[in-house]
Structure 1
Amino acid sequence: MEANNTFHEAEEEIVLQKQGNGFILSTLSGTVGEITYKLVAADTWVIDHTYVDPRYRGRQLGKQLLDMVVGEARDKGRKIIPSCSFALEEFKKNAAYADVWENSKSASEFSDPYSSGSAMMGR
């Protein structure tokens, strides 16, 4: 799976790239979006954070970030616990994520519907 993608939005290039345990969206002016996950079991990831700069919202960029994590999870045979509120809402409304959704009772210990903060938000 290709982890570097380029999107052209309103004549501004937005680059999607893998970074550590997540993906970032960046422009020439800096990072404008991010999604992060962590390994919580041998075959399970928790998506713990998704953020898109308010100036770039409404362009499906958050969903593109989520789709990259889901694609990587499928490639590696992982399940996902959607802990952040954005990922959870997307998982609930999109049946295409059912194959990677770890929605057992044990997954609830990682659920945090209020985890939408970001180190970027103060910028």
Structure 2
Amino acid sequence: MEANNTFHETEEEIVLQKQGNAYILSTLSGTVGEITFRLVEAGTWVIDHTYVDPRYRGHQLGKQLLNMVVREARDKGRKIIPSCAFALEEFKKDSTYADVWEKGKSTSDFSDHHSSGSAIMGR
């Protein structure tokens, strides 16, 4: 499934693309947001990192990234362990994620305590 959507949440055009196990938001000036996930068991993904550049926060871009992963998980019959703080908080707040939430696993087993920055922006 290839995603290539455009959001006009801010003054500049933001393009969403799927790259491997990540969804990336970018502008002409570079990456401004990302969410990454990985397979941890048959049928289960862990969302291990979400990042939105501080200049672009407040426009629901993180939620839009999360929704792309959730949509793909539903399409593929996967469950999700939300181990990054943002994804976990959103899963707790929004009952519409209940169908994909793998609650039987501890999020601390999969959390990345070093993901305060952007994995992609640091490349």
- Whether TM-score is above 0.5 comes out as yes
Equivalent residue letter for 1:55: R
Identity %: 83
Quote the residue 2:20 is aligned against. Answer: 20
For structure 1, the 5+ residue unaligned runs are: none
1:55-108 alpha-carbon deviations (Å, 9 max, x no partner): 000000000000000000000000000000000000000000000000104555
Runs of 4+ in 1 over 3 A off after TM superposition: 105-108, 111-117, 120-123
Give the 3 Å change call, closer, same or farther, for CA 31–101 of structure 1 in structure 2: same
1:69-88 to structure 2, matched below 5 A, reads: 69-88=69-88
Contact 1:46 1:82 in 2 (8 A): yes
Q: Which runs of 5 or more structure 2 residues have no equivalent in the other structure?
A: none
Q: Is the Cα contact below 8 Å between 2:31 and 2:121 reproduced in 1?
A: no
| Preserved CA contact (<8 Å) 2:73 2:79 | yes
More helix by share: 1
Q: SS where residue 34 of structure 1 aligns?
A: strand
For this pair of structures, how many residues does the alignment match? 123
- Work out the CA distance in 2 between the residues paired with 1:82 and 1:116: 15
Match of 1:49 in 2: 49
After TM superposition, the score normalised by the length of structure 2 is 0.89
Using structure 1 for the length normalisation, give the TM-score: 0.89
Q: 2:14, 2:5 → 1: CA distance?
A: 8
C-alpha RMSD of matched pairs (Å): 2.1
The CA deviation at 1:115 is 4.2
